[in-house]
Amino acid sequence: MKSNKASQQDKRFSRRELFSVASSTAAVAAASFAIPRELSAEPQEHKHHAPLQGFKYDIEGSEGRVTAGGSAKEANVDEFPISESMAGVSMRLHPGGLRELHWHAIAAEWAYVIKGNIRTTVISPSGEAESADFGPGDVWYFPKGHGHALQCLGPEEAHFILVFDDGHFSEFGTFSITDWMGHTSPEILARNLNLPVSAFSSIPRDEAYIIQGNVPPAIPEDLRNATLPENQFPHKFRLAQMTPFRFSGGEERIVSSKEFPIQKTVTGVIQDLKPGALRELHWHPNADEWQYYISGRSRVTIFGAHGRVATEEFRPGQIAFIKQGFGHFVEQVGDEPTRILILFNSPVYEEISLSGWLGANPPALVADNFGFSAEQVAKLPKASRGILS
């Protein structure tokens, strides 16, 4: 009987020991978890943040592709890795130069004419067709997959900037009509296009790309199919003729889908900076920003959090790319005014400026945040300033 009682006491004792050990283990574990949580509030010197990517590319300094009818230079992620959401092309056509019939499978095309005159044709999946002439300051937008062609009307060379809403797009990998027909059997072409097989013996076997054609007549010819419905969503917008937003240091014209309904994936801006101007500190919550410098020079500074800041100077023919949400500002440099073509990969324009943000907070909060006096806070701007002189 004594041995049974002792055995029961041993069991009770071992349970008490077990509970005691378990409690001690839990306490140690809790303490061990509490330490990192306390330390995590302190700066961690060993924590590494990747440096900012390069955000400058000299597109006009690249080699590009040259044909008898013109030339093209591109900047996609292969040349400019940061530019993942947009690709750009600088294209020139000689008088009569024809960017042959083609379409883009993965990207819409937005264009701004810098100089010269262009005639375009385009067809939509609904069968609606349009022919339109473009001059300096005009914009076109062709949705993804819409077949189109471009031809220079002369008398001078045409230069225009194309921007595509996918940074992986390549201008040198488009779907061109000569490439397709050149790799299709003449028998199939004859059956489809109502011509004898012999008619296709002389067509190009590979992509012609930019052809040297004849200068089109001043008055456009009628389309071959006169029964095609008239296009109800014009592909043309006269950006240069917009009334600009004017500031002490310059002005800007903004075309979003609100002003140009067919333009459903991007917003375009022409920004003019007077000598010495400052495009105030700001960011864009909803879009990346792609810039092409048309004339003049400027210095761009970007802020990418974690103390990461980078500055680059830009001159004509160079591109800047600023990621969505990155703070930035632009300082005009030199005696010549600066003109910048800007694209955002959103059909809606959004911006938050540092000045406007500070104006949207109580004075005491701003004073506490910076250690300013009430007098200093009172001198801060209360609204966005756009472009400062």
- For residue 99, indicate whether it is catalytic: yes
- For residue 279, indicate whether it is catalytic: no
Mean pLDDT, rounded, of the chain:
91
Of 102, 159, 284, 385, the catalytic one is: 102
62-73 tens-digit pLDDT: 999 999 999 999
Q: Residue 366 in 3-state DSSP?
A: helix
Q: Are 118 and 134 in contact (CB under 8 A)?
A: yes
Give the max Cα distance, the chain: 121
Identify the pLDDT of residue 230.
76
Q: What is the torsional sign of CA 178, 184, 185, 189? A: negative
Specify the higher pLDDT residue, 1 or 284. Answer: 284
Q: Are 82 and 141 in contact (CB under 8 A)?
A: no
Q: Are 79 and 87 in contact (CB under 8 A)?
A: no
329-371 tens-digit pLDDT: 999 999 999 999 999 999 999 999 999 999 999 999 999 999 9
Helix, strand, coil percentages in the chain from 3-state DSSP, rounded to 5: 20, 35, 45
Q: What percent of the chain has pLDDT over 70?
A: 88
* CA pair distance 18, 33, nearest whole angstrom: 22
For residue 56, give both structure tokens.
């400058």
Q: List C-alpha distances in Å: 388 to 246, 274, 327.
A: 10, 9, 17
Identify the pLDDT of residue 64.
95
Of 148, 284, 297, 339, the catalytic one is: 148
Identify the pLDDT of residue 111.
98
Q: List C-alpha distances in Å: 343 to 46, 47, 105, 169, 280.
A: 38, 35, 20, 16, 18
**Got the DSSP string for 214-243?**
PPPPSSPPPPS-TTSPBPSS-SEEEGGGSP
Of 104, 119, 235, 339, the catalytic one is: 104
Around Cβ 90, how many Cβ atoms within 10 Å? 22
- For residue 42, indicate whether it is catalytic: no
Best CA proximity match to 134, nearest among 148, 153, 147: 153
**Got the DSSP string for 145-193?**
T-EEEEEE--SS-EEEEEEES-TT--GGG-EEHHHHHHTS-HHHHHHHH
Q: Averaged over 169-196, what is the pLDDT?
A: 96
The strand pairing partners of 331, in sequence order, are 278, 299
Identify the pLDDT of residue 44.
57
Q: Is residue 155 reached through a cis peptide bond, with omega within 30 degrees of 0 on the bond before it? A: yes
Identify the pLDDT of residue 9.
45
**Got the DSSP string for 15-53?**
HHHHHHHHHHHHHHHHHHHHHHHHHTTS--TT---PPPP
- For residue 171, indicate whether it is catalytic: yes
* CA pair distance 91, 197, nearest whole angstrom: 35
Residues 304, 370, 386: CA angle, nearest 5 degrees: 60
Identify the pLDDT of residue 1.
43
Identify the pLDDT of residue 41.
52
Which helix or strand (DSSP H or E) is residue 7 part of?
helix 2-39
Burial of 325 per CB tally in 10 Å (0-12, 13-18, 19+): middle
Structure confidence at residue 45 as a pLDDT band (50, 70, 90): low
Structure confidence at residue 313 as a pLDDT band (50, 70, 90): very high
Torsion of CA 177, 183, 188, 190, to 10 degrees: 60
Of 109, 130, 207, 289, the catalytic one is: 109
* CA pair distance 47, 316, nearest whole angstrom: 39
Q: Residue 288 in 3-state DSSP?
A: coil
Structure confidence at residue 120 as a pLDDT band (50, 70, 90): very high
Domains of the chain: 56-237 (2.60.120.10), 242-388 (2.60.120.10)
Q: Are 56 and 314 in contact (CB under 8 A)?
A: yes
Kindly report which listed range (37-46, 101-110, 195-204, 288-297) carries the lowest average pLDDT score: 37-46
Identify the pLDDT of residue 231.
75
Identify the pLDDT of residue 179.
97
7-43 tens-digit pLDDT: 444 444 444 444 444 444 444 444 444 444 444 555 5
Q: What percent of the chain has pLDDT over 90?
A: 85
Q: Residue 123 in 3-state DSSP?
A: strand
- For residue 104, indicate whether it is catalytic: yes
Identify the pLDDT of residue 363.
98
80-99 tens-digit pLDDT: 999 999 999 999 999 999 99
Type of residue at 203 = I
Identify the pLDDT of residue 308.
97
Structure confidence at residue 233 as a pLDDT band (50, 70, 90): confident
**How far does CA 292 lie from the centroid of its chain?**
11
